[in-house]
């Protein structure tokens, strides 16, 4: 069931609905621990984490997302990738002081995210976190997603909606499609991954260097996990609660869903045919 489109006036309202992850350890701030609160997560140092926010026609939600990022992650740098939006996305993003990279035309999520990786190159970040501009990914959980990468225990961390402790309201068909794809990825990697379509991810510097050179165009999420896993990068999943988008339209409609379900399995099979490649 898609939620009815509702106007959201403040970022607080936007994120208070079903999202339980609490702010990532701002010092001295008393927070009520939510179900996913991990008191062990330390706030990273400044300059360690770059948050990449890809946005395509997200003028209604980009400001809320950025406000949340600034509130929850004052230690992080962020860059907005405006993927050729035809609405006021760039205008809405400007007041936050984060650099806004405006692509001259729409490249699709793959090309936009890769622009973020290219932006990160040579700036010394230990982790790059992808947080979609549509407000589905809770900025309060960014520190948790980045933590294993910063600790050096994982190269890729996926914020998973379907792990115990994660949550997401999703239509039946989409949930089923996601499950099928996750099974496929799991089979290809010979290990269990539960949410391979989630775009809420943290990548290590080595992975970012690799992906800046080679990243799929369309529906990149499941495919990238297979190619990174085969290269020997360590993939971890942590539970995250997300909520469906409330403003704007998902880029994945019915026709696109069908295309998605055909393209991704094919892409995974093709990935398996390629040489594994060396790590980093």
Partner 1 sequence: MNPTPVVQPGGVLHGQAFVFTVSLFFFLFVLELVRRKKVNERFSLLWIVIATVLGLASSFGFPFLFRLAPLLGIVYPATALFLMAFIGLTLLILYLTVVISRLSMQSRTLAQRVALLEARQTEEKVLLDRLSP
Q: Which residue number, 103 or 163, has a Cβ lying nearer to partner 1? A: 103
Q: Which of 206, 220, 202 is nearest to 267 (CA)?
A: 220
Q: Which of 127, 167, 165, 132 is nearest to 149 (CA)?
A: 127
Q: Is 107 in the site for partner 1 (CB under 8 A)?
A: yes
Among 43, 101, 141, 228, binds partner 1 (CB under 8 A): 101
Q: Is 102 in the site for partner 1 (CB under 8 A)?
A: yes
Residue 87 has φ and ψ, to the nearest 5°, of -110, -160
Side by side, the strands of the sheet bearing 127-130 are 100-102, 77-82, 49-55, 127-130, 201-204, 156-160, 235-239
Residues 165-194 binding partner 1 (CB under 8 A) are: none
Among 104, 122, 255, 275, binds partner 1 (CB under 8 A): 104
| Nearest distance from C-beta of residue 55 to partner 1, angstroms | 13
CA angle 198, 200, 204 (to 5 degrees): 120
| Nearest distance from C-beta of residue 130 to partner 1, angstroms | 16
Q: Is 119 in the site for partner 1 (CB under 8 A)?
A: yes
What string marks each residue from 57 to 96 as x (binds partner 1 by CB under 8 A) or -? Answer: ----------------------x-x---------------
| Nearest distance from C-beta of residue 115 to partner 1, angstroms | 5
Q: Is 15 in the site for partner 1 (CB under 8 A)?
A: no
User: Does residue 101 contact residue 32 with C-beta atoms inside 8 Å?
Assistant: no
Q: Which residue number, 28 or 122, has a Cβ lying nearer to partner 1? A: 122
Residue 17 burial by Cβ neighbours in a 10 Å radius (0-12, 13-18, 19+): exposed
Among 115, 136, 196, 197, binds partner 1 (CB under 8 A): 115
Neighbouring CB atoms inside 10 A of 20's CB total 18
The contact set with partner 1 (CB under 8 A) reads 79, 81, 99-105, 107, 111, 114-115, 118-119, 217
């Amino acid at each position: 069931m898609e939620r009815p489109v509702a106007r959201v006036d403040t970022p607080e309202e936007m994120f208070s609905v079903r999202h339980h992850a609490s702010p990532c350890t701002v010092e001295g701030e008393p927070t009520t621990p939510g179900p996913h609160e991990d008191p062990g997560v330390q706030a990273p140092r400044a300059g360690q984490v770059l948050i990449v926010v890809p946005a395509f026609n997200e003028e209604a939600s980009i400001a809320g997302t950025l406000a949340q990022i600034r509130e929850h992650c004052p230690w992080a740098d962020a860059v907005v990738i405006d993927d050729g939006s035809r609405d006021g996305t760039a205008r809405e993003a400007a007041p936050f002081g984060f650099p806004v990279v405006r692509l001259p035309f729409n490249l699709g999520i793959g090309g936009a995210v890769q622009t973020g990786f290219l932006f990160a190159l040579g700036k010394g970040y230990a982790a790059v976190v992808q947080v979609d501009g549509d407000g589905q990914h809770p900025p309060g959980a960014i520190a948790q997603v980045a933590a294993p990468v910063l600790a050096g225990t994982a190269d890729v961390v996926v914020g998973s909606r379907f792990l115990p402790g994660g949550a997401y309201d999703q239509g039946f068909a989409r949930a089923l499609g996601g499950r099928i794809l996750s099974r496929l990825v799991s089979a290809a990697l010979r290990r269990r991954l539960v949410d391979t379509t989630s775009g809420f991810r943290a990548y290590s510097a080595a992975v970012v260097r690799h992906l800046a050179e080679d990243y799929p165009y369309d529906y990149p999420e499941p495919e990238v996990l297979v190619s990174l896993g085969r290269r020997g990068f360590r993939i971890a999943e942590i539970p995250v609660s997300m909520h469906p988008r409330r403003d704007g339209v998902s880029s994945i409609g019915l026709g696109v869903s069908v295309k998605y379900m055909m393209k991704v399995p094919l892409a995974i099979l093709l990935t398996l045919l390629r040489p594994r490649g060396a790590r980093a």
